Amino acid sequence: MKILIKSATIVLPDSKYHQQTVDILLQNGKIEKIEKNISAEVDQTIEMKNLHVSLGWFDSSICFGEPGYEERETLTNGLKTAAKSGFTSIAVNPNSNPIADHSTSIKFLKSHHTQFGVGVYPVGALTVKSESVDLAELFDMKNAGAVSFSDYKKPIENPNLLKIALQYAQNFDALIQSFPQENAIARNGCAHEDFHSTQLGLKGIPALAEELQIARDLFILEYTGGKLHIPTISTEKSVQLIKEAKKKGLDVSCSVAIHQLIFTDEKLQGFNANYKVLPPLRSSKDAKALIKGLKDGIIDMVTTDHCPIDIEDKKVEFVNAAYGTIGLETAFAALKTIFSTEKTIDLLTKGRARFGIENPKFEKGEIANLTLFNPDYKYTFNEENIISTSKNSMFIDSKINGKVYGIYANHKLTLA
């Protein structure tokens, strides 16, 4: 099948085509030509207002419901959401039912690979049933296609278990994730411990709960070696701790959820459970430090931390509501409210190498892995813009800037 993309402005800082407006001819999944003007008989021509093209985007932390929580999100609709939001590769968390803690679960997720053009890269559970007691079958899951190991939103409470995991994983070059929260300090808190939680009568989760866990994990990493990823950090001190660890030469990476850059704990005033996430929304000082951490390269990647939650678990009292927000549909436009188009694309295309996923290339003869978008489309995001089955977005009624047209990847074109 031949597809011709007309008059596309390329956003790819490391490429000779950066900021050039070109035509792109795709045939049988590959880039056949990149020229100023291409005339050819094709099966489909794509022409769109203010069309821009970048390499396909990657997200390191995605949750879907299936298997077990299909009322939240099915894999089919979730992958359609990812594609129409501009993502060509996603790492899927193991918080299904049953927990993805063995090779069969990994193979099930991999069986959906390339649906709608989206590459699915499973994250296996670090421990059996994510109960933080016994290590899961890491080696078997790695052979089945797992790109990392994590107990999603559950800290590794036993430091010896993390030590053993980091030591064992070095035998097959695996990436271990450790969620940054010390439960003995967080306890049953549900909001950032600060002025707003006190004013609202909500039990707080201190920044210390995150920072103490990160400090512990970095000490263990220094002792064991290995590769550690700390997902969704949220405090100023966390950025500093990771900066110092990198200066020491430790093999550590981290991510930040996009909503942590945009919103702060002031949003809790209305007790809207869509703003209940883990880690909790922190202070404006923390948000500024996270943005700076991205600009300085200390924070390695952004994530939507997309987590669909059904209405029964969100439309309840704030303290009883489930943690999580969806974020795929708003990722690009939300980042554009802070960063330039070039920096936004840089952030959305980072992270693959850390998870052992090959980076795509924009050259003639290469497999096409592209995201199509308009960086200057301003609108107010509302529930009608949500593709996900669950509607738990904290971005509803937000004014954002940027529209995704779709993707071409894995021999498939998906348009929004």
Name, in order, each residue with C-beta under 8 angstroms of 281's C-beta and a sequence gap of 6 or more.
191, 192, 234, 259, 260, 263, 264, 265, 267, 268, 275
Q: Identify the pLDDT of residue 14.
A: 87
**In 3-state terms, what secondary structure has residue 4?**
strand
Distances (CA, A) of 404 to 213, 331, 377, 383, 385: 37, 10, 9, 17, 12
**In 3-state terms, what secondary structure has residue 356?**
coil
The residue ranges of DSSP E strands in 236-296, in sequence order, are 252-257
Question: Mean of the pLDDT values across residues 158-169?
Answer: 98
Residue 6 — pLDDT band, cuts 50, 70, 90?
very high
> What is the third-level CATH fold of 56-355?
TIM Barrel (3.20.20)
- The mean predicted confidence, pLDDT, of the chain is 97
How far, in Å, CA of 27 to CA of 29, rounded?
A: 5
Do domains 2-52+364-387+397-415 and 56-355 share one topology? The answer is no
The whole-model pTM stands at: 0.96
Mind listing the pLDDT tens digit for each residue in 13-37?
A: 989 999 999 999 999 999 999 999 9
Angle between helical axes of 207-224 and 236-247 (0-180°, round to 10):
10
Smallest Cα–Cα separation from 338: which of 394, 259, 277, 267? Answer: 259
Say if residue 113's pLDDT is above 90.
no
Mind listing the pLDDT tens digit for each residue in 365-376?
A: 999 999 999 999
Say if residue 218's pLDDT is above 90.
yes
Question: Mean of the pLDDT values across residues 216-243?
Answer: 98
Q: How many CB atoms lie within 10 A of CB 16?
A: 10
Question: In the chain, pLDDT over 70 holds for what percent of residues?
Answer: 100
Question: Mean of the pLDDT values across residues 150-160?
Answer: 97
Domain segments of the chain as ranges = 2-52+364-387+397-415, 56-355
> Is 305 part of the annotated catalytic residue set?
yes
Residue 114 — pLDDT band, cuts 50, 70, 90?
confident
Smallest Cα–Cα separation from 283: which of 335, 227, 205? Answer: 205
Instruction: Specify whether the CB–CB gap between 278 and 323 falls below 8 A.
Output: yes
Residue 414 — pLDDT band, cuts 50, 70, 90?
very high
Mind listing the pLDDT tens digit for each residue in 306-334?
A: 999 999 999 999 999 999 999 999 999 99
State the catalytic residue, choosing from 151, 217, 265, 305. Answer: 305
Residue 177 φ/ψ, nearest 5 degrees: -110, 145
Mind listing the pLDDT tens digit for each residue in 395-405?
A: 999 999 999 99
Q: Identify the pLDDT of residue 246.
A: 98
Contacts 24+ apart (CB under 8 A), 377-386: 377/50, 377/401, 377/402, 377/403, 379/403, 381/329, 381/330, 381/333, 385/329, 386/326, 386/329
> What is the third-level CATH fold of 2-52+364-387+397-415?
Urease, subunit C; domain 1 (2.30.40)
Distances (CA, A) of 373 to 13, 37, 215, 402, 405: 16, 20, 40, 7, 5
**DSSP conformational letter for 114:** T
